[in-house]
Structure 1
Amino acid sequence: MGKKRNILVLLVLLALLALPGGCKGKEEAPGEIPVEAEGPAPEEPAVPEEEPETEVPEEVPPQEVQQEETAPQGINPLTGRRIREEAAVRRPVGVMVNNLKAAMPQSGLAQADIVYETLVEGGITRLYAVFQDFDAPKIGPVRSARHYYLDFAAEHDALYVHYGLSPQARTAIKERKAPSLNGLSYLDEILCFRDRARKAPHDKYTSQQGIMAAWEKVGYRKEPDREGKFLFSPEGPTAGAAAGRVDLGYSNYAKPWFTFDKESGTYLRFQYGAPQIDKETGGQLAYENVLVQFAGMWTIKGDAAGRMDMELTGTGQGWHISNGFAVPITWSRKSRQDPTLFFLADGRPLVMREGKTWINVFPKNRKDMVRFEP
C-alpha cells in the first residue's frame, strides 16, 4: 500500500504541473526582462540630446568667421590699406586746415590719409588734409582757399572744403568748375560750426557729418572718376640716405620736422618746437611716408596781400622718405587736372609703403633747407 500511495502522489503532482496555470509564475519571469531593460532606456536618447547641445556652439564660430571673411571690403587708394567698400568707391574729401601756431592743436588730422603742406602768403603754410574713410566729429580750424590747392584736390578727384577764398581761388573754382564746399556761403550752418573756446579766425570747424550733408545739398558726383595714383607695397624702401630726422625750413616762421620712430615704423611730426598733436585723439601725428616735391614758387605781382603762385605741372625733383631712409625721386605732371606721377632715379615708378603720407610741396630755390640726420 505504501508503494501504491507514493505512486499516486507522484501522479497527482505530475497532473498539477501539466495544468495551464501551473507555470504562470515561471513564464512571467522572462517578461520582466524588458521591464528591467527599460530602466536605462531613457539614457539612450539622452546621448543624442546632449550631442546637439555640444554641436550647436561648435557650428557658430565657423559661421561668424565666414561672415567676417565675406564682409565687403575695398582698398583705400590713398593708403593701399583695406577699408569699407562703401568708402573705397566714394571720391575723397579734402579740407583746408589752418597751420598757424595760434591754431594749435588742430582737430581731425589723425584721420586724414594724406596731408599736403605748402606756402601761402607771409611765409606761413596751410594744410590740405585728404580723407577717404573717416568719421571725424571735428576737423579744423578750417581756413580760406588758395587757387593752387585746387591742383592737390584734382590729384585725387577730391572735394575741396574751405571757409572763404582768395580772389584767385574764386576765379579758378569758377573756370575749372571745381567741386568746392565753401563754409562762407549758404552752406555755413550745414557745413561748419564755431568753437567758442577759440578766437577768430581759428574758430571754424567742419565734421564728417557736416561735409556729407553739404555734399548732398550741392549734389556733386560721389563716384570717383579715376583710380588711385599711388603704388604701394607692405615693405617700403630698404636702402637710401639715412633719415632718422628730416628738417624742412619753409621759411623763418615755418620750420617743421619729422623724426623716425623705429618702434612704430612711422615718422612723427613736429612744429613750433613741439610734437604736432591731434586735439581729438591726444596723439602725435604719424606717417609711413614723407614726400618732398620741389616746385617753383613766387609772389603774385601786384597782389597787395603778397599771395603766391607755383608751377605744379611739368617735371621736377624730390625725396621719398620712409623706413628711416631718404630716396631721391623725380615727378611729372601733364596738366593741372592730371595726377602727379613719381619715379625713382632709374625711371621706375615709385612704390611707397602702405600707410599714410605727408606731402611737402617745397620751394625749389630752398632745396638746401631740406636736411637729413641719421
Structure 2
Amino acid sequence: MAGARGPRRPGAIPIAVLCAMTVAGLYGCSSKDEEPPPAPSPTTPPAVSPPAATGRSPFTGLPAEPAPVLAVKIDNVQAARPATGLGTADLVYVEQVEGGVTRLLAVYSDHLPDRVGPVRSARESDIALLRPFGRPALAYSGAQSALNPLLRAAPLHLVSEGSDPAAFLRSGSRPAPHNLYVLPARALAAAPDATDARDIGFRFGSAPADGTPVNSTSVRFPAARYTFTWSAPDEAWRVAMDGRTATSTDTGPLTPETVVIQYVTVRPSAFHDRFGSVSPYTETVGSGKALVLRDGRSHEARWNRASAGSRVAYTTPDGTPLNFARGQVWVVLAPR
C-alpha cells in the first residue's frame, strides 16, 4: 500500500502551525512574500470512538501515538518544484493564492521528515482552516504587515525565519524566495506546548457500496491544474501538477490514498501581496458539494462546517458519514 511516510517520530515534539484571527473572529493568514474546538455541530458525524483515543491518527486513520501538530506553508509554483518532505505529510490542503496559482498547507504529526519546503508565506484563509486543530504550530516565511497582528492574536504557535532562525535553512541550489526550508524537529522545539493531533472530522473505514470507477480526475484553478490518477499497484492516487508528475525529493511520486475535492467560495480578501494583487480568501466554513476519490472510485459527497471551531463533516448526499481510505489525505479547496 502506498504511503510509507517515513519513520515514526520517537517522541511528542510540539509543533508550530498557522495563521491569524480575522475581524469576524475567524482565523487565517495572508501574504507578503508572504483552544480546543467546541463540540461538533449537529451535522458532524458521531464518532463511535475518537481516532486519537484508539491509537490511530485522526488525520490518516493509521496507527499513531499522540503527537503535536506542525503545519507548513509550501510553495508549489514551477520554480519551487519538486518539494521536499511533502510525501511524509499526514494531510495536504491545496489553496488558491494571488494570480490564480496555488500553495500547499501540509500538516504533520505522526511522522516528521528532516526538512520541509520550500516554505512561503501564510494567507488569511489559513487561520479559519486550522482552527479545528486547537493550537498547532505554523511554519511560514512571514506575512504582510497588516496581517501580522491577526496572526499573533490567533491560537497558533508561529514559527518563522525571523522569530526562530535556527529552525530554518536556505538552500544554495535555488534562488530566493524558493530556497527556504524548515527543520521540523527544531520548529517543534520552538513550540513546546503545541496541541496534539485531534479529531477534525475525518472518518476512516470501508468505502460506500456505490461510487463511480474512475481512472483520473482533474481540478482547475485560474492558473493551475491538478490531476489525480488511480494507481492500482500503489493503491493510491498519483498527483500531477500542470501536466507533470508531482514528486517529493525524499520520497518520490506523491501518492495520497484519499483525495477530497471540496468546492468552496473563493472571494477577495482585505489583504494583498507586495505587488498590490488582492489575496483570495477561501471560505471553509459553510457547506457545499464535494467529490471524494478513494480505491479507484469517485463518490459524490457533501461537506458541512458550522463555524471556524467546528469539525468538518463529509457525508454522502443522503447524510451518511463518508469514510476515507487510511493513509495520506489531500483536500483540494476548489473554486465552485
Cα distance in 1 for residues equivalent to 2:167 and 2:195 = 17
Q: Which secondary structure state, in structure 1, belongs to the residue aligned with residue 234 of structure 2?
A: coil
Paired residue type of 2:172: R
* In the alignment, structure 1 residue 196 sits paired with structure 2 residue 177: no
User: How many residues are aligned here?
Assistant: 279
Cα shift at 1:181: 1.6
Shift, 1:228, TM fit: 4.5
- Alignment RMSD, CA only? 1.9
Q: Which runs of 4+ in 1 moved over 4 A?
A: none
Structure 1 partner of 2:306: 334
Match of 1:208 among 165, 175, 184: 184
Residues in 1 aligned to 2:178 and 2:271: alpha-carbon distance in whole angstroms = 28
| 1:352 equivalent in alignment to 2:330 | no
What TM-score comes out, normalization by structure 2 length?
Answer: 0.78
Q: Is the 8 A contact 2:147 2:271 kept in 1?
A: no
Report the TM-score when normalising by structure 1.
0.70
Alignment of 1:1-374 (within 5 A): 74-83=55-64, 85=65, 89-157=66-134, 158-167=136-145, 169-183=147-161, 185-188=162-165, 190-216=166-192, 220-223=193-196, 226-233=198-205, 235-251=206-222, 253-281=223-251, 283-300=252-269, 303=272, 304-364=276-336
**Structure 2: where are the runs of 5+ without partners?**
1-53
**Bigger relative contact order (CA 8 A; separation at least 6):** 2
- Larger Rg, first or second structure (1 or 2): 1
Pairwise CA distance, 1:246 = 0.8
- Residue 301 (structure 1) shift: 6.0
- Report Cα offsets for 1:297-328 as digits up to 9, x if no partner: 12236842221113221211111111111111
Q: Is the 8 A contact 2:301 2:315 kept in 1?
A: yes
Alpha-carbon distance between aligned partners in 1 of 2:131 and 2:214, rounded to the nearest angstrom = 30
Offset of 1:191 from its aligned partner?
Answer: 1.5
* Higher share in helix: 1
1:255 and 1:202 map into 2 onto residues whose CA distance is 20
The AA in structure 2 aligned to 1:310 is T
Unaligned runs of 5+ in 1: 1-72, 365-374
Deviation at 1:147, TM superposition (A): 1.4
Structure 1 309/105 Cα, relative in aligned 2: closer, same or farther at 3 Å? same
- Paired-residue identity, %: 25
Q: Give me the whole-angstrom Cα distance separating, in 1, the residues matched to 2:248 and 2:231.
A: 18
CA distance in 2, matches of 1:316, 1:150: 20
